[in-house]
């Protein structure tokens, strides 16, 4: 009976140590995450094997697992940059990104868990300054927003090419100009629109005038050709045809052919 406590205490200690080791060895990786294994006694971060995927894993209790989110994530940035003529422009942009899954060990070893602040934010800010600096405020306000969006994406992706991060998209949500510049651009655009509308009215009026002139010229030419082709014989024949049609009326009684002026038929006896 006296030996039982002496045996029981070490057993309890062993069980407690075993339980702690089991707890330290058990790792659960949640959905949308992956784990980077760090081996304390074997060269540190594991970079030559895929990261630990979703689910339950057992590791040596002295090793560690660093969990990363591997879903697509969003970075929202408000940036003040300068246009080509030195005016301050505010750009609101979003970047969609995610770590490269099979390079998660390299990412952890070279950049760490704060890779967003280390490389992604500086990259998109640098690209935005470079791209916006090539355009005037008028271009940014009116027609170049899609262009700068594509160019910021291309330049940011180029910067991140060897950083173990995948850039999926850059969206420029808003371009804000100083109020005085915005108002001046709007006035200029209104004036240009009014000028275009006035030019359109002038062109339309000129085309209508040209149409009327062409129609009048056509009628004049037709009348001239017709007059030149009408001889006395043709007029006499047309008069005979017209008189004969008139004689078919129920009111016509007597038709004397050749009895009228110029040899035209003469109709007598109309009621």
Token readout for 119 is 């490389």
The answer on 155 and 205 residing in a single domain is: no
Domain edge (last residue) among 17, 39, 69: 69
- The CATH number of whichever domain residue 160 belongs to comes to 3.30.479.30
Q: Which tens digit of pLDDT belongs to each residue from 147-202?
A: 889 999 999 999 999 999 999 999 998 888 877 776 666 666 666 666 776 677 77
The answer, yes or no, to whether residue 223 has pLDDT greater than 90, is no
Whole-angstrom distance, CA of residue 181 vs CA of residue 165: 38
The answer on 56 and 7 residing in a single domain is: yes
The answer on 168 and 193 residing in a single domain is: no
| Mean pLDDT, rounded, for 196-224 | 77
Domain edge (last residue) among 177, 193, 218: 177
The answer on 251 and 221 residing in a single domain is: no
The answer, yes or no, to whether residue 24 has pLDDT greater than 90, is no
The answer on 203 and 145 residing in a single domain is: no
| Mean pLDDT, rounded, for 109-126 | 94
Read off the pTM. 0.62
Higher pLDDT among residues 267 and 108, named by residue? 108
The answer on 248 and 211 residing in a single domain is: no
| Mean pLDDT, rounded, for 249-257 | 55
The answer on 37 and 79 residing in a single domain is: no
Question: What is the count of structural domains for the chain?
Answer: 4
Q: What is the pLDDT of residue 191?
A: 64
Find the range with the poorest average confidence among 27-41, 150-164, 249-263.
Answer: 249-263
Higher pLDDT among residues 117 and 7, named by residue? 117
Domain edge (last residue) among 136, 155, 177: 177
In sequence order, the β-bridge partners of residue 95 are 75, 170
Nearest to 97 by CA among 171, 39, 148, 10: 171
The answer on 264 and 214 residing in a single domain is: no
The answer, yes or no, to whether residue 51 has pLDDT greater than 50, is yes
| Mean pLDDT, rounded, for 107-126 | 94
The answer on 31 and 116 residing in a single domain is: no
Residue 202: in which H helix or E strand, if any?
helix 179-229
| Mean pLDDT, rounded, for 236-259 | 59
The answer on 116 and 42 residing in a single domain is: no
Give residue 29's domain range. 3-69
Whole-angstrom distance, CA of residue 50 vs CA of residue 81: 40
The answer on 157 and 98 residing in a single domain is: yes
Whole-angstrom distance, CA of residue 162 vs CA of residue 102: 13
The answer, yes or no, to whether residue 1 has pLDDT greater than 50, is no
Q: What is the pLDDT of residue 174?
A: 86
The answer on 224 and 189 residing in a single domain is: yes
């Amino acid at each position: 009976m006296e030996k039982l406590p002496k045996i029981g205490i070490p057993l309890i200690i062993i069980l407690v140590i075993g339980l702690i080791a089991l707890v330290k060895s058990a790792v659960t990786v949640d959905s949308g995450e992956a784990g980077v294994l760090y081996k304390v006694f074997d060269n540190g971060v594991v970079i030559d094997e895929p990261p630990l995927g979703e689910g339950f894993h057992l590791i040596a209790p002295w090793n560690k697992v660093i969990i990363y989110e591997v879903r697509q994530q969003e970075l929202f940035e408000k940036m003040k940059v300068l246009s080509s003529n030195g005016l301050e422009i505010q750009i609101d942009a979003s970047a969609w990104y995610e770590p490269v899954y099979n390079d998660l060990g390299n990412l952890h070893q070279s950049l760490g868990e704060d890779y967003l602040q280390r490389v992604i934010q500086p990259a998109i800010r640098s690209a935005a300054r470079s791209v916006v600096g090539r355009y005037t405020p008028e271009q940014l306000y009116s027609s170049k927003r899609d262009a700068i969006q594509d160019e910021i994406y291309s330049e940011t992706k180029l910067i991140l090419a060897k950083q173990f991060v995948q850039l999926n998209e850059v969206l420029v949500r808003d371009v804000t100009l100083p109020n005085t510049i915005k108002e001046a651009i709007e006035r200029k655009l209104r004036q240009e629109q009014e000028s275009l509308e006035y030019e359109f009215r002038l062109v339309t009026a000129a085309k209508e005038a040209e149409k009327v002139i062409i129609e009048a010229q056509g009628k004049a030419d037709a009348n001239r050709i017709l007059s030149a082709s009408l001889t006395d014989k043709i007029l006499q024949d047309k008069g005979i045809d017209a008189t004969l049609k008139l004689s078919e009326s129920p009111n016509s009684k007597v038709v004397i052919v050749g009895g009228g002026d110029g040899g035209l038929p003469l109709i007598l006896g109309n009621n």
